[in-house]
Amino acid sequence: MKSLRTPDDRFADLPGYAFAPNYIEVDDQDGGTLRVHYLDEGPADGPVVLAMHGEPSWSYLYRKIIPLLTGAGLRVIAPDLVGFGKSDKPSEKSDYTYARHVAWMQEAIIDHLDLQNVTFFGQDWGGLVGLRLVAANSHRFARVIVGNTGLPTGEGAPSEAFMAWQKFSQESPVFPIGQILQGATNTELTAGEVAAYDAPFPDETFKEGARIFPSLVPTSHDDPAAPDNVAAWEVLKQWEKPFICCFSDDDPVTAGGDAPFLKLVPGAQGQPHTTVTNAHHFFQEDGAPQIAQIIIDAVGGG
């Protein structure tokens, strides 16, 4: 497959993002390779937190949370999904599938870094991909923390809001990443922060991965990803380790999305589930201190 690589100068002097880059080449599942970027911050021997972003953001989303976690002695791994951030961006929508996203992260993060005793934190597509990793590598994970995400299997009709978002992602002549982030964030982002979310995408040709993501969400039983997600749910239904939900109070897209986890995951019972307050969909922007404390307390609490 053909892929694009965002020039490094697009990432120069981004506000709040003075983190060293790390790269790994992975099998692109089509006879070639892709370069995946990830952050690896904090003490090398500290408890590991795997923090995964969603659509259409990148690891910049965690810039406020990472220093709080590393300051508490945690090691934070924050990858850029293929098609986002500093990772390579296949140039055709058809290059992107749910299964490939899982395989790319499996090789780049789980296999390459050989992570153990991991605390997983996922939001949006970070949860859709990351929970598949948890299910496939349950022995590597000590606990799960999720917010504003899900693991859809095609059950039930998608909301009108989601279908409108899916339609916009496919049909809009311009896909304004930074404006999309601002629109789902209560905090007023600075012009520099909006530009940082736009930085990975010099022009519309770099956005095929971002545009196709909403269409990869399973919305029917015959979706190619539905059986794999059903299988992942079977693992989660046996998950006895801590499983904590921290959904925000002002996200119309994922409101109520914690209900299946609270009902079906044994490890969710008796956990300190929290609502992140005054926070929209991208609650890492709105509630970084609260989210960081939830993670720190979970790791410290066993």
What residues are annotated to the active site?
A: 124, 251, 281
The CA distance from 194 to 256, in Å, is 28
Helix (H, G, I), strand (E, B) or coil at 168: helix
The CA distance from 276 to 77, in Å, is 22
- Angle at CA 146, nearest 5°, toward 262 and 195? 150
The CA distance from 225 to 281, in Å, is 24
If one counts every other C-beta atom within 10 angstroms of the C-beta of residue 269, the result is 10
Q: Rounded to a whole number, what is the distance in angstroms from the first to the last CA of the chain?
A: 44
The CA distance from 40 to 223, in Å, is 34
Contact 257, 152 (CB under 8 A): no
Tokens 């220093």 correspond to 67
**83 closest CA partner among 201, 218, 217:** 201
Tokens 């059903």 correspond to 230
